[in-house]
Structure 1
Amino acid sequence: MELVAVVAMTEDRVIATENDVPWNYPADVKQYKDRVSESPVILGRQTYESMLPDPPGRRHIVLSRSLETAGPATATIARSPAEALTMAAEMDAETVYVLGGGEIYDAFLPEYDRMVISVVDYLIDHESCRRIVRFPEWDDTAWEKVSIDNSYNGFRIDFWESTDSN
């Protein structure tokens, strides 16, 4: 099973402010939903709830300490990253995607095989934000940027592969 992070962020790794994504790039949302549509996804409770009623992915593993059930039959609750990975492995999928939020991305960082990062052209006013969520920093020596897709307006997609064998 391959574990892949899919994220949209600014050049300085901001993925959200005030519990919301401040930019709007429909082409990015479409390409990312198309990418994960047939695969299981792992995501945190807040991210999952923000995507209802139609979260992307075939199956949803929701990491939560508070939810007992997640509503749609496609969703199951995991209490830890290790439990989420076990559930994902039991789904016998070739690829499982991690969709966030910040703590979830960070929890799985050592496990990723690949990262698909949409880098958006958006300036964050850091002074006016009470809360900024960032994608975690990674060790550049453990990753290689293998390609860049510049065919979109307002963002590009960077494709990274782990140089570690996990």
Structure 2
Amino acid sequence: MELISVAAIAENRVLGSDGELPWPSIPADKRQYRERIADWPVVLGRRTFDSMRDDLPGSIQLVLSRSESDFGVESARHAAGVDETLDILDALGHERAYVIGGAAIYELFQPVVDRMVLSRIPGAYDGDAYFPEWDRDAWELTEQTPYEEFTLEEWVRDRE
């Protein structure tokens, strides 16, 4: 199973401010993001899950939380940590799943993701949530697709 982080990040790795995007809405980015993850399981934290409740992404939501609770959504499942999440994903039998945030979830899963799909937003922004740093020598930038308001980058972990 391939595990892929998907995030929109500014040049200074900022991805959020007070639970919101720090830049104006970019419809083309939202569209490509939603289309990419629509039919796949997604991994996200409890606060990110709660912020998306009105329009949940993915086919199944694996919600990382310290406490198990009923999310009130049939497609949502609880996971206590990275290992349990990976076990659930393996049991589901999908060929891929997406890690979609927040910042602490990206940090937890950075050592185990196989690929990153990053919408690079021009400029530096103030914020309180950052995408984790990564060793660029351990990753290969395999594709860059320019859009009017962002550049979509695909990174693959070098497994050699």
- Report the TM-score range of the alignment, normalised by the length of the smaller protein: over 0.9
Partner AA of 1:134 in structure 2: Y
| Equivalent residue number for residue 153 of structure 1 | 148
| Equivalent residue number for residue 139 of structure 1 | 135
Q: Which runs of 5+ in 2 are unaligned?
A: none
SS of equivalent to 2:74 = coil
Hey, what's the Cα distance between the residues in 1 that align with 2:70 and 2:22?
Answer: 29
Hey, what's the Cα distance between the residues in 2 that align with 1:123 and 1:104?
Answer: 22
Pair 149,95 (structure 1): closer, same or farther in 2 beyond 3 Å: same
CA deviation profile, 1:70-90 (whole Å, cap 9, x unmatched): 121000011111111111111
1:115 corresponds to 2:116: yes
1:13 corresponds to 2:9: no
How far the C-alpha of 1:55 sits from its partner, in A, is 1.2
Hey, what's the Cα distance between the residues in 2 that align with 1:59 and 1:32?
Answer: 16
Hey, what's the Cα distance between the residues in 2 that align with 1:71 and 1:43?
Answer: 16
Q: Which runs of 5+ in 1 are unaligned?
A: none
The TM-score, its normalising length taken from structure 1, stands at: 0.91
Hey, what's the Cα distance between the residues in 2 that align with 1:53 and 1:101?
Answer: 17
SS of equivalent to 2:54 = coil
SS of equivalent to 2:30 = helix
Hey, what's the Cα distance between the residues in 2 that align with 1:83 and 1:91?
Answer: 12
CA deviation profile, 1:115-139 (whole Å, cap 9, x unmatched): 0000112442x3xxxx511000001
Structure 1 segment 1-166 matched on structure 2, within 5 A: 1-23=1-23, 24-124=25-125, 126=126, 132-150=128-146, 152-164=147-159
How far the C-alpha of 1:66 sits from its partner, in A, is 3.3
Identity of counterpart residues, as a percentage?
39
User: How many residues of Structure 1 are paired with residues of Structure 2 in the alignment?
Assistant: 159
Hey, what's the Cα distance between the residues in 2 that align with 1:113 and 1:13?
Answer: 19
Hey, what's the Cα distance between the residues in 1 that align with 2:77 and 2:94?
Answer: 16
